[in-house]
Amino acid sequence: MLSGTPFTLADLRAAYDAGATAADVVREVYRRIEAVNDPGIFIHLPAEAEVIAAAEALGPRDGRPLWGIPFVVKDNIDVADMPTTSACPAVERVADADAFVVARLKAAGAIVVGKTNLDQFATGLVGVRSPYPVPKNAVDPAIVPGGSSSGSAVAVGHGIVPFSLGTDTAGSGRVPAALNNIVGLKPSLGALSATGMMPACRTVDTISIFALTVADAHEVFRLAAAYDPADAWSRPVAAPPPSAPPKPRVAIPDAASIEFFGDTVQAENFATTVAALEQSGAVITEIDLTPFFQVAEMLYYGAFVAERHTVIEPLLASRPDAVHPVTREVVEKALGFTATDAFRDIYRLAELRRVVEPVVANVDLILVPTIPTFYSVADLEADPIGPNSRLGTYTNFVNLLDMCGLAVPTLPRGDGRPGSVTLLAPHGRDGLLAGVARTIEQFGSRTLGATGAPVPPPVPLAEQAVDGEIELAVCG
């Protein structure tokens, strides 16, 4: 029965309604893992019996919102009693506690299946910078899986689990979503606690969520979000249900600043999506993305790369060969920057934020392509850095500007490759992004990830204020 079920939350709940057990679902997860047969997805996958035992330990189905829902976790996030590696075997250690977010999801009834592969130390957007076997893109194995949250995206793209945790600093929670035809929710910074997550750039990191549908990603986000006083970067963030104005004001990059690196099919797909969104009621305006790109450059080519260096400096000093050569090349750029350079870059970022603020203030959100074009595994073998940088064109600036983002599949491209756009807005507007993305994911005739299952019809928006739930705007 379960083998034909697409793994959305609604479908799994229907299966439970129809009598499936949590152990049945875990068995189906392992059957799919075996069917996909990609040794690159997991860095740590427990024996099936262990996860079945965890499922059975849930007890009978109760009212918990994620009861019996399996998920996978990027291997730079701790799950108690499982090893964490950040894709660097030299730093492997068994976690003695769940990350804050993992603990919340487990408390809601969800079941961790395993730990997934990534670009080492979450540095990269390609998914090939790992000493473990590289996960294969779920849609087209010639294409890079995307990173750094490669395994988590591919697992959801295949429908092995309905959602997964990634992390996102430069776009690691969005680029792989575009490449695997799934949703990538990059929350407002501070909404999901970083306790138990190995940092990349602590000031702009966040845990992110992959799912097959916007509704699922946003529901998991709402359950995971909570203020955590133990995480110095945690912030009180409202996590309301999806909601959108009937005529959202949407800014898109103008013709002078939009960039597809010659990929006319991608350009056409974006234009078609914009036209469909306008048709649905959105009011479209154009903005110059140049200052956003100036921000983006600061993440790897300025002193901010020293944030990554803080994480692995002792390892680089004592065991340089333990670090992936490309990762080393990227992170060692930090050695060229002084503290004075760091503060100069912090000032420049503050000034660029001021340039961007009035642009953003005029609209509800910004719509960009998630990626400008596609790159193959062979492209990355030829040039491990250039294509990686270009994949971050529309993602690198987002966290530095303290915006939330939601990568959502749109109608497929003319050549059949997945289409994806990203919605961006200032900190705290996660509910708005989900509200508008619900419309976009219905565009065209599309399937979920690489599953072949059709996109379910939109669930009616829940009442905006549920009984006993007060919408609270918290400023910090």
- Residues 303-318, buried b or exposed e (16+ Cβ, 10 A)? bbbbbbbebbeebbee
Does 170 sit near a copy of itself (CB under 8 A)?
A: no
Q: Does 313 bind a copy of itself (CB under 8 A)?
A: yes
148 part of the active site: yes
Task: Tell me the C-alpha to C-alpha distance, in Å, between residue 31 and each of 2, 26, 34, 165.
Answer: 10, 9, 5, 21
For residues 156 and 295, which CB has a smaller minimum distance to a copy of itself in the complex?
A: 295
Q: Residue 23 is inside which H or E element, if any?
A: helix 22-36
- Listing DSSP states for 84-135 in one string gives E-TT-GGG-EE-SS--HHHHHHHHTT-EEEEEE--SGGG--SSS---SSPPP
Q: Which of 86, 130, 148, 188 is catalytic?
A: 148
> Is residue 475 involved in binding a copy of itself (CB under 8 A)?
yes
Residue 385 within binding range of a copy of itself, rule CB under 8 A:
no
* Site track 200-219 with a copy of itself (rule: CB under 8 A), x = hit: --xx----------------
Q: Count the Cβ atoms, other than its own, within 10 Å of residue 411.
A: 18
CB neighbours of 215 closer than 8 A, spacing ≥ 6? 9, 10, 242, 434, 438, 459
Is residue 27 a contact residue for a copy of itself (CB under 8 A)? no
**Which of 329, 341 has the CB closer to a copy of itself?**
341
Quick one: which of 288, 297, 351, 415 contacts a copy of itself (CB under 8 A)? 351
Q: Does 317 bind a copy of itself (CB under 8 A)?
A: no
Q: Is 307 in the site for a copy of itself (CB under 8 A)?
A: yes
Alpha helices by DSSP H, listed for 108-258, are 150-157, 175-179, 214-224
* One residue of 56, 249, 343, 415 binding a copy of itself per CB under 8 A: 343
Residue among 86, 152, 164, 172 flagged as catalytic: 172
Chosen residue from 29, 99, 204, 334 binding a copy of itself by CB under 8 A: 334
CB of 40 to a copy of itself, least distance (A): 32
- Minimum CB distance to a copy of itself, residue 13 (Å): 38
The answer to whether 461 and 431 have CB atoms below 8 angstroms apart is no
Tell me which of 27, 61, 344, 446 binds a copy of itself, using CB under 8 A: 344
Report which secondary-structure segment, H or E, holds 13: helix 9-17
Tokens 């509200």 -> residue? 435
Residue from the set 16, 227, 233, 293 that interacts with a copy of itself by CB under 8 A = 233
Give the x/- contact pattern for a copy of itself in 112-141, rule: CB under 8 A.
------------------------------
CA distance linking residue 212 with residue 376, whole number of Å? 23
Q: In this complex, which beta carbon is closest to a copy of itself, that of residue 228 or of residue 259?
A: 228
Q: How far is the CB of 455 from a copy of itself (least distance, A)?
A: 38
Q: How far is the CB of 262 from a copy of itself (least distance, A)?
A: 35
The span from the CA of 161 to the CA of 72, in Å, is 7
Q: Is 303 in the site for a copy of itself (CB under 8 A)?
A: yes
Is residue 3 part of the annotated active site? The answer reads no
Closest CA to 437 of 135, 212, 125, 138: 212
* By CB under 8 A, residue 37 contacts a copy of itself: no
357 binds a copy of itself per the rule CB under 8 A: yes
* Structure tokens given for 109: 């009834």
Tokens 């990355």, located at residue: 380
DSSP 49-83: HHHHHHHHTT-S--S-TTTT-EEEEETTB--TTSE
Q: Shortest Cβ distance from residue 83 to a copy of itself (Å)? A: 25
Instruction: Say whether residue 335 binds a copy of itself (CB under 8 A).
Output: yes
Among the listed residues 13, 31, 64, 353, the single contact to a copy of itself using CB under 8 A: 353
Token duo for residue 33 = 């893992």
Name the residue nearer to a copy of itself (CB basis): 254 or 357.
Answer: 357
Please select the residue that binds a copy of itself; options are 264, 285, 290, 338, rule is CB under 8 A. Answer: 338
Asked if the bond preceding 148 is cis, omega within 30° of 0, the reply is yes
- Going from the C-alpha of 83 to that of each of 89, 103, 144, 154, 192, the distances in angstroms are 10, 16, 26, 20, 21
CB of 256 to a copy of itself, least distance (A): 25
To the query of whether residue 333 is one of the catalytic residues in this protein, the response is: no
- DSSP character at residue 140: -
Residue 301 touches a copy of itself, criterion: CB under 8 A: no
Nearest-angstrom CA–CA distance, 390 and 372:
7
* Positions marked catalytic: 74, 148, 172
Contact residues for a copy of itself, defined by CB under 8 A: 202-203, 229-230, 232-233, 303, 306-307, 309-310, 313, 334-335, 337-344, 346-347, 350-351, 353-354, 357-358, 475-476
